[in-house]
Amino acid sequence: MALSLFTRRPAVQDPTTWTPPGTIVVQRYRNIVGPAEGAIVLVYTADSDRRSGYFATACLGCTYRAASSDRLSRLTEKAAAHLANAHAASCRAMNCGVPAAPDDTEAAQMVRSRLWGLRPDCTTSLHYVHLTDFRADRVDLQRDDDFIKHAMVQLTQSEPHFLTSQPNSSGTGIRFLVQPHPPRN
């Protein structure tokens, strides 16, 4: 098959303006790597979280991701900006461009992996899942809330010992619960 002289290549997304699907990017930082163009560090929130005041940060050159300062403390925009700026000042990663979007199977596995990490041990109660639990994954996941909810519904059907759902106490929608690890004998 011959290529036409006028065949267009797909547009390459610019990391300085790219916004991961399902997010709102509020700030961008660039690291400096000698004379070369350094990686972009994003400060963002999920579309559904714009009024919550919770943010995350991610570097597009390395694996740095942060959605909390510790396990329980979520990031405000100011705290996320501070972490992003500090990372940009110390990271030496080159600009890798926009990360490739995973296919739906890979993205569903990322949702499952995040839930597995939230799974309490056998001595604690259930963990109620919130969409904010996926904030650090949004840049790699590149999916909106509907995809995450759909992936969780599928898990409740295929792995009810791991993830269950029940009607929301407000009477609208459902909430998801990660089941604790079974006790060890």
What is the residue range of 45's domain? 23-90
74 and 129 share one domain: no
Give burial (CB, 10 Å; 0-12/13-18/19+) of 170. exposed
pLDDT band at residue 34 using 50, 70 and 90 as cut-offs? low
CA distances from 57 to 63, 69, 144, 169 (A): 11, 11, 17, 32
- The residue from 90, 124, 139 where one domain ends is 90
Find the helix packing angle between 145-158 and 104-118, rounded to 10°. Answer: 70
- The residue from 34, 57, 90 where one domain ends is 90
Which is more confidently placed, 11 or 51? Answer: 51
Residues 6+ apart with CB under 8 A from 77: 26, 27, 43, 45, 53, 55
In this model, does residue 115 exceed pLDDT 70? yes
pLDDT band at residue 9 using 50, 70 and 90 as cut-offs? very low
Number of domains present in the structure of the chain: 2
pTM for this predicted structure: 0.82
- The residue from 65, 90, 115 where one domain ends is 90
Q: Assess if residue 98 is contained within a domain.
A: no
86 and 117 share one domain: no
What is the percentage of the chain residues whose pLDDT exceeds 90?
48
